[in-house]
Amino acid sequence: MVSTMDGKIIGGLLVLMLAAAVASSGCISGGSKEKVLVVGTSADFPPFEYKDPQTGNITGFDIELIKMVAKKAGYDKVEIKDMDFDSLIPALQTGKVDVVIAGMTITEKRKQVVDFSIPYWKADQAVVVRKDSSITVSSLDDLKGKVIGVEKGTTGAIYIKDNLGDQVTLKEYNSYVAALQALLNGQVDVLVIDSPVANMFTNKYDVKVVYTINTNEHYGIAVKKGNKELLDKINKALQDIMNSPDWNKLVEKYFGS
């Protein structure tokens, strides 16, 4: 027989154990742990990721894609964390997010610190100016002496640093939106940004593309270095989606004429 005091102690322990289980799993539903994929992004990169002006929710090609990938990979829910682009890899390395999808180019330098999925998109770098600008660009040499706006940590920023160095004045911004505003305000002469985003900006703002730098970049989904189990799940799900009609529908939704 268990005494009243013993019963209270056992009952209290059970409550504590249940509370600990809930705290460690985040959610218990029907006695099983909900599988949540925590995704890092930088929601200033339309049409890949951006905030819907009506709802304030983060949406876009990448966001819909990662939700499809997560579902195929067996996850119940996706949690999106928005941050500056150059904070994404550190967040992945420290375990604040499980994956990163942010129009992130697969580069050898990044591959030293994170693992990438198979590529899902190709892009180049575009040189963007205001519509009323008289600036013309037919080669990189035409950018010498110019004030160039870029987003911190992007391949556009790296490319300009590597190829033009101190021959230009480089202004780095925390987001593409801030860089675009600087261009519109006359604080920079040109922007160097990923071509898909440049095309989106030309449809919405008084800017134009005057030159394309053929960098032949490919975007991938990043996971923590060495997390082969998650990477394999992501790759299988991503490949299945890219081979399905859902892929064409998604591309048409965001890039169709």
Report the C-alpha gap between 99 and 39 in whole angstroms. Answer: 5
- Cβ–Cβ under 8 Å, residues 154 and 113: no
pLDDT for residue 257: 54
CB proximity list for 166: less than 8 A, separation 6 or greater: none
Rounded to an integer, the average pLDDT of 76-92 is 97
**pLDDT tens readout for residues 194-205:** 999 999 899 899
Residue 26 has pLDDT above 50, yes or no: no
CB proximity list for 175: less than 8 A, separation 6 or greater: 42, 44, 84, 85, 151
Residue 184 has pLDDT above 80, yes or no: yes
Residue 216 has pLDDT above 90, yes or no: yes
Residue 14 has pLDDT above 70, yes or no: no
Domain annotation for the chain: domains and CATH numbers:
29-120+220-255 (3.40.190.10), 123-217 (3.40.190.10)
> Which among 252, 256, 250, 257 has a CA at the least distance from the CA of 62?
250
- Cβ–Cβ under 8 Å, residues 175 and 103: no
**pLDDT tens readout for residues 93-112:** 999 999 999 999 999 999 99
Rounded to an integer, the average pLDDT of 230-239 is 98
Vertex 9: Cα angle to 7 and 12 (nearest 5): 105
Higher confidence at residue 162 or residue 18? Answer: 162
128: helix, coil or strand? strand
**pLDDT tens readout for residues 110-142:** 999 999 999 999 999 999 999 999 999 999 999
Rounded to an integer, the average pLDDT of 222-238 is 98
Torsion of CA 249, 72, 92, 62, to 10 degrees: 10
**pLDDT tens readout for residues 33-72:** 889 999 999 999 999 999 999 999 999 999 999 999 999 9
Residue 27 has pLDDT above 60, yes or no: no
